[in-house]
Structure 1
Amino acid sequence: MTLLTRTLFSVALVASSTLASTAFAHGAFKCDVPSKEWKLREDLEDKLKEEGWDVRKIKIDNGCYEVYGFDKKGRKREAYFNPKTFELVGDVQQ
């Protein structure tokens, strides 16, 4: 194996393991709440802003609110919240 081939193989291996771990992390968080019981995402955003977050985006993933932004300490966050209680159910380290 040439040096270039080994280098490309190493890069591919690292990239695939990183993607696999991210995919696992996302699938690990699930919220089973009927949609009629959900609170508004704007209310979650307001709550997080009161706690010092800089919310960039909120979307729905696996029945949870998925929030992208920065917490009060300035750390980049991708966090999952129960849409009924706004309880933090998961966090992907960035």
Structure 2
Amino acid sequence: MKKPVLLGTVSLTLALLAGSALAGPTCTRESRDKWIPEADMKQKIAEMGYRDIRTFKTTSGNCYEIYGYDKDGRKAEVYFDPVDARIVKAEVDD
């Protein structure tokens, strides 16, 4: 009887870890009144060279996240800190 409980606990732990990995990074804990407004952030992102932004959203980790293309035309998924516009995580296709 103890093995099924142990396996169930391991499975639950792995599922929770996988779910948190899919959720993306946490970018800030600052309140939204300190965030860069979306329109201004979109402008900053364009100035960084990102273009053809297909998606711009706010994540559960308090990030601005985009799906688009970088200055070299590569597909990019990028998470930005909404307070200072720094890149927290970027995944770029080669």
With normalisation by structure 1, the TM-score equals 0.66
2:54 to 56, 60, 66: 56
Gaps of 5+ in 2: 1-17
Structure 1 pair 68–23 and aligned structure 2 pair: CA distance change class (3 A): farther
Aligned counterpart in structure 1 of residue 23 of structure 2, from 14, 27, 30: 27
- Higher share of residues assigned helix: 1
- Using the alignment, how far apart are the partners of 1:28 and 1:67 within structure 2? 12
Which of 36, 40, 43 does residue 37 from structure 2 map onto? Answer: 40
Determine if contact 2:34/2:83 at 8 Å carries over to the other structure. Answer: yes
Q: Any conservation in 2 of the 1:33–1:83 contact (CA below 8 Å)? A: no
Q: How many residues align?
A: 73
Identity of aligned residues (%): 33
Q: 1:52 to 1:85 in 2, by over 3 A?
A: same
Q: Secondary structure at the match of 1:30?
A: coil
Distance 1:47 1:74, change over 3 A: same
Counterpart code for 1:30: T
Whether the aligned pair in 1 keeps the contact of 2:74 and 2:92 (CA below 8 Å) is no
Q: 1:91: how far off? A: 1.7
- Which one-letter code corresponds to 2:64 in the other structure? Y
Deviations 1:45-75, CA, capped at 9 Å, x for gaps: 1112123211222101111101111010011
Structure 1: gaps (5+ residues): 1-19
Change (3 A) 1:29 1:87: same
**1:86 is matched with which residue?**
85
Q: Which amino acid is 2:55 matched to? A: K
